[in-house]
Amino acid sequence: MNAAATPPPRRKPVARWLRSELPQLLLMLLLLAAARDSFANHYYVPSGSMEHTLEIGDRVAVDMRAYGVRLPFTDVQLLATGKPGRGDIAIFDSPEDGVRLIKRVAAVAGDEVDLSEGRLSINGVAMQARDQADTELFQQHRARLDLAYGGGPDLHGITVPAGQVLMLGDARGNSHDGRFFGFVPASELYGRAVAVYYRRGDGFGWRKL
């Protein structure tokens, strides 16, 4: 009599699932990462350089398409979609050490800048709101300044070169910004901050910037 054939070992359900689903899962994660890198992202505010507009610990939603669509995971711009405007809060890498920063676009190409005791004038026009001494108006944006540390270095008679922007913090005396590292190429702004979606003490919400 022949011995009964040994049945083949049954494949474990987890191993079978991994073999069939893992490639699709990895592809989905890759697509999500690419979308985050090219279309939408978020930023954690690590310092008080943008107070009172942004507070330490704020989590900010960022539109990565505001100024251009980039090839995922690179700095190569595929399509120009807009230009930085005065008052935008934008994300960029520091020209000094590459650290990613968040500051306000205070002036754009061709603007003549005067900054005295932390208060900004563009082309001879003061940005200060008439009804609020520590607020500046940039068309669609309002900058809530923090001058508790003073105004920081002044600027006088400076004209922003073509293709460049001047980035400043709203806490003028507590911000390492364009007054120290110079102008930033407009093409190197990664995206525009659109809203604070989480603030310590207040929780989740949607505070438009």
pLDDT at 141 over 80: yes
Average pLDDT, the chain: 84
Q: Which residue has the higher pLDDT, 185 or 25?
A: 185
Express each pLDDT in 20-66 by its tens digit: 655 554 544 443 443 444 334 789 999 999 999 999 999 999 998 88
What pLDDT, on the 0 to 100 scale, is given for residue 187?
92
When pLDDT is cut at 50, 70 and 90, the band that residue 132 belongs to is confident
**Three-class SS string for the chain?**
CCCCCCCCCCCCHHHHHHHHHHHHHHHHHHHHHHHHHHCEEEEECCCCCCCECCCCCCEEEEECCCCCEECCCCCCEEECCCCCCCCCEEEEECCCCCCEEEEEEEEECCCEEEEECCEEEECCEECECCCCCCEEEECCEEEEECCCCCCCCCEEEEECCCCEEEEECCCHHHCCCHHHHCCEEHHHCCEEEEEEEEECCCEEEEEEC
What pLDDT, on the 0 to 100 scale, is given for residue 142?
92
pLDDT at 184 over 60: yes
What pLDDT, on the 0 to 100 scale, is given for residue 33?
44
What pLDDT, on the 0 to 100 scale, is given for residue 80?
64
pLDDT at 96 over 90: yes
